[in-house]
Amino acid sequence: MDNSPKHIVTAAAVVLNDNNEILLINGPKRGWEIPGGRVEEGESISSAAIRETKEETGIDIEIIKFCGMFQDVKSSVCNTLFLGRPVGGEFRTSEESHEIGYFSIEVALKKITWRSFKEQIEYCINQQEPFLIEFNN
């Protein structure tokens, strides 16, 4: 029996446009959230954030900075977070995004119902240095 660790690494981006509005998707599982998903084998974490944003929204982004990581220790999920800005593309929904839009930070935080997603956005916007948040759910 193989007892080696089996972590899930994800990458997500807080994408801010020139009006300081956040790009959100409304997905079938968790409602409103920032675009992101699993890092594929052989893929860099930042490339995964760019790819996931494109797949879920149709928007091309540039990574501005690495913000930090939220680790759910119990479920072995490491969610890496980046700050990005749009550089092209056009809105396109997918199986993972039934609605897409840019929202003011205040409106975006009201739309999101998962507490950890709100925290991730707040940390990315407010922290100057990279962060590591570890929790057990």
**CATH (domain of 42):** 3.90.79.10
Q: Which of 19-23, 64-68, 113-117, 118-122 has the lowest mean pLDDT?
A: 113-117
What's the pLDDT at 1?
65
What's the pLDDT at 31?
95
pLDDT digits (tens, 9 = 90+) for 37-49: 999 999 999 999 9
Contact 16, 62 (CB under 8 A): no
Q: Is 3 part of a structural domain of the chain?
A: no
Instruction: Count how many domains the chain has.
Output: 1
- Between 5 and 86, the higher pLDDT residue: 86
Q: Is 64 part of a structural domain of the chain?
A: yes
What's the pLDDT at 60?
98
Q: Is 80 part of a structural domain of the chain?
A: yes
DSSP conformational letter for 21: P
Q: How many CB atoms lie within 10 A of CB 98?
A: 12
Q: Is 71 part of a structural domain of the chain?
A: yes
Residue 17 phi, psi (nearest 5): -85, -175
Domain span at 67: 15-135
What's the pLDDT at 116?
87
For the entire predicted model, the pTM comes to 0.93
